[in-house]
Amino acid sequence: MSSEGADVRSIDAIDRFRVSVVEFIDAGRVSISEADSDLDRNIIWLEREQAPHWIRQIRKRQELVTRAKSDLYRKQTQSSANDGRASVVDEKVALQRALRRLEEAQSKLKATRKWMRRLDQQRITFKAAMSGFSVAVDHDLPHAVGLLKKITENLESYLNLSPPDLHRLIAPNEPTDEHPSMRRTGETTPTDIVENELPTEEPT
Amino acid sequence: MSVTSARMRMQSEFKDLAVAWRRVSESWHDPVSRAFHERRIQPLERRIRSAASAMEQLEGELAQARRDCGDD
């Protein structure tokens, strides 16, 4: 029990704050779930869309390289038959371009496989990094909501047990404090009852 | 919804909670309210910072993955 009394001027204010904590818990849970879902969506995108996409692209671009090589070979053969006068520059450029595009697709597939492994690992790292906040929204804050509820219930019971206001009976016309405090120094106070129930922060 | 919007929601909701706490503090200041602040609000602030930092890092990773693996 504390030597200092409870000093609460509005039970409604504590109740409103409790509602804010409940709203924060909901928003926090949604945030964690959204972040997890985004990570999962990206892993699925890599596994089910990008990896098969780049495999198809490699096959397609290999065919284009083969075709470009055939075109060049055919042109070189025709050129030899025509005293080497026909230009093969366009075919060489087309082959270079086809080879470059094949390399790009191969490199994309390699990157996709690398990121699939990396994001899978990231899922574990991210969960660990978010564990403190998860504990807060799943355990600490719901417990805090319970305490706030108990505080307001105790204060309400305490007010119901209060003796008649002697001052008001003796001098009814004197102005009184518009927001009287429930402070009762030196007595056991309604909030003291729950003070010792506030646990210390759990290690994360 | 993305990690970015999740982080922004978390931070924005925490700002609202901090405002709500300041408001209740105006009419509740005794040892219990101080204990509540020290044991519930302050640790939460640290946890939010740590979660936001993890989310920012993940945002960067996902953006890089999309660049590296998306269509050229």
Place of tokens 């270079």: A96
Q: What is the ipTM of this complex?
A: 0.94
Residue A72 in domain: yes
| DSSP state for residue A134 in the 8-state scheme | H
Residues of A in contact with B39 (CB under 8 A): 198-201
Q: Given an 8 Å threshold on Cβ–Cβ distance, is B31 in contact with A2?
A: yes
Residue A170 in domain: no
User: Which residue of chain B has the CA closest to A7?
Assistant: B30
Nearest by CB: A13 against B23, B36, B50 = B23
Query: Hey, which residues 36-65 in chain B have their CB within 8 Å of chain A?
Result: 36, 39-40, 43-44, 46-48, 50-51, 53-55, 57-58, 61-62, 65
Residues of B in contact with A106 (CB under 8 A): none
d(CA A161, CA A48): 67
pLDDT, tens digit only, all 72 positions of chain B: 799 999 999 999 999 999 999 999 988 888 888 999 999 999 999 999 999 999 999 999 999 999 999 986
Nearest by CB: A111 against B16, B54, B69 = B69
Q: Is A175 left (phi over 0), alpha (psi -120 to 50) or beta?
A: beta
pLDDT at A2: 45
pLDDT at A1: 41
What's the structural domain count of chain B?
Answer: 1
Residues of chain A with pLDDT under 50: 1-2, 185-188, 193, 195, 199-204
Residue A66 in domain: yes
Residue A127 in domain: yes
d(CA A30, CA A38): 12
Say what the alpha-carbon torsion angle A90, A93, A94, A96 is, to the nearest 10 degrees.
Answer: 160
What's the structural domain count of chain A?
Answer: 1
Residues of A in contact with B26 (CB under 8 A): 9, 13
Residues of A in contact with B72 (CB under 8 A): 104, 108
Q: Given an 8 Å threshold on Cβ–Cβ distance, is B27 in contact with A122?
A: no
pLDDT at A79: 74
User: Which residue of chain A has the CA closest to B17?
Assistant: A20
Q: What are A191's two structure tokens?
A: 């909030």
Nearest by CB: A35 against B3, B30, B65 = B3
Residues of B in contact with A60 (CB under 8 A): none
Angle in degrees, 0-180, between the axes of helices A11-44 and A141-161, rounded to the nearest 10:
170
| DSSP state for residue A6 in the 8-state scheme | P
pLDDT at B10: 96
pLDDT at B19: 95
pLDDT at A175: 55
The model's pTM is 0.78
What domain range includes position B47?
3-69
Partners of residue B28 on adjacent β-strands: A8
Residue A186 in domain: no
pLDDT at A199: 47
pLDDT tens, residue by residue, A80-100: 777 766 788 999 999 999 999
What domain range includes position A66?
11-162
CA A3 vs CA A91, A156, B30: distances in Å: 93, 21, 10
Q: Given an 8 Å threshold on Cβ–Cβ distance, is A140 in contact with B48?
A: no
